[in-house]
Every structure is written in structure tokens, then in C-alpha cells.
């Protein structure tokens, strides 16, 4: 269970992550020093990604996202340091 979230999350970080994420997160995740979870499931949508309600909107600086919504039943969520979160943008 713990490595499942890392495996999926590492792929997302490699493809879409910023340079600091790749530099600071990948090695600790690969070495098992940190854990990352994939947060998709929502109370109203389940794991149906077409029905997601969680949104991510850029803040005034344009550099960060503000996430609004809920996630539920995140495998290894209680043990992780990081989350890769599915959101509507």
C-alpha cells in the first residue's frame, strides 16, 4: 500500500512537477524516506474522475494554486508527507 502511492505519484512528479519537486522529492520518495499518496476519490464522485468537484485556481501571484474541495479514502494518506491531488483547473 505505501509503495503504490509513491509509484503513481513519482510518475506524475516526473512528467508535470516543477524542477524543485524533482530535485527535492524524487530521491527521498525512491529511497522510502518519504511517502506520497494519490488523492483522487471524493465523497460525491468516488473515483470517477469525470465527476470531480475539487478545483485548483491560481492565486494572485500566478505561481501557486489554491485547492478547494474534499478527498476521501486516500490509500496511505495517514502516513504520507506529500499528496498528488486530482483537481479541476
Q: Distance (Å, rounded) from C-alpha 4 to C-alpha 14? A: 16
Query: pLDDT tens digit string along 35-62?
Result: 998 899 998 888 888 999 999 999 999 9
Please report which helix (H) or strand (E) contains residue 15, including its range.
helix 2-16
Give tens-digit pLDDT for 18-29: 999 999 999 999
What is the rounded average pLDDT of the residues 63-78? 90
Length of the chain: 89
Task: Find, among 7, 6, 10, the residue nearest to 21 by Cα.
Answer: 10
- The reported pTM is 0.78
Mean pLDDT estimate for the chain: 90
Q: Supply the pLDDT for residue 28.
A: 94
Amino acid at each position: 500500500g505505501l509503495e503504490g502511492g509513491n509509484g503513481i505519484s513519482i510518475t506524475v512528479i516526473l512528467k508535470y512537477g516543477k524542477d524543485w519537486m524533482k530535485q527535492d522529492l524524487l530521491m527521498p520518495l525512491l529511497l522510502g524516506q518519504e511517502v506520497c499518496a494519490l488523492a483522487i476519490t471524493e465523497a460525491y464522485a468516488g473515483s470517477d474522475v469525470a465527476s470531480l468537484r475539487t478545483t485548483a485556481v491560481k492565486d494572485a501571484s500566478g505561481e501557486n494554486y489554491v485547492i478547494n474541495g474534499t478527498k476521501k479514502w486516500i490509500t496511505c494518506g495517514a502516513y504520507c508527507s506529500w499528496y498528488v491531488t486530482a483537481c479541476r483547473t
